[in-house]
Amino acid sequence: MTSQGTLPAYLRSLLTADLPNGWLYLPHGELDETTVCLFIPSDDVDEDEDATANKAAELGFPIEGLDNQTMQDVALGAVRLDPHANDALLVRAFAYYHRFDAFLPSIDASDPPGPEQALLKMDRDFYESLGPETLELRCRREGCDRGTVRLSVFCQKHHFEMVRRRPCPFE
Ligand SMILES: [Zn+2]
Q: Are 154 and 162 in contact (CB under 8 A)?
A: yes
Query: How far, in Å, is the centroid of ligand 1 from the Cα of 150?
Result: 13
Query: How far, in Å, is the centroid of ligand 1 from the Cα of 125?
Result: 18
H or E segment and range at residue 64: strand 63-67
Torsion 23-26-32-33 (CA) sign: negative
Query: How far, in Å, is the centroid of ligand 1 from the Cα of 85?
Result: 53
Domain ranges of the chain: 3-100, 115-164
Query: How far, in Å, is the centroid of ligand 1 from the Cα of 142?
Result: 8
SS3 80: helix
Model-level pTM?
0.69
Give the span between the Cα atoms of 73 and 90, in whole angstroms. 11
Please report, in tens digits, the pLDDT of each residue of the chain (171 residues total): 789 999 999 999 999 887 788 999 999 999 999 999 999 988 876 667 788 889 999 999 999 999 999 999 999 999 999 999 999 999 999 999 999 999 999 998 988 888 888 889 899 999 999 999 998 999 999 999 999 999 999 999 999 999 999 999 998
- Residues 6 or more apart whose CB falls under 8 angstroms from that of 146 comprise 133, 138, 139, 155, 156, 157, 158
Say how many C-beta atoms besides its own lie within 10 A of residue 145's C-beta.
Answer: 9
Query: How far, in Å, is the centroid of ligand 1 from the Cα of 99?
Result: 42
Query: How far, in Å, is the centroid of ligand 1 from the Cα of 33?
Result: 54
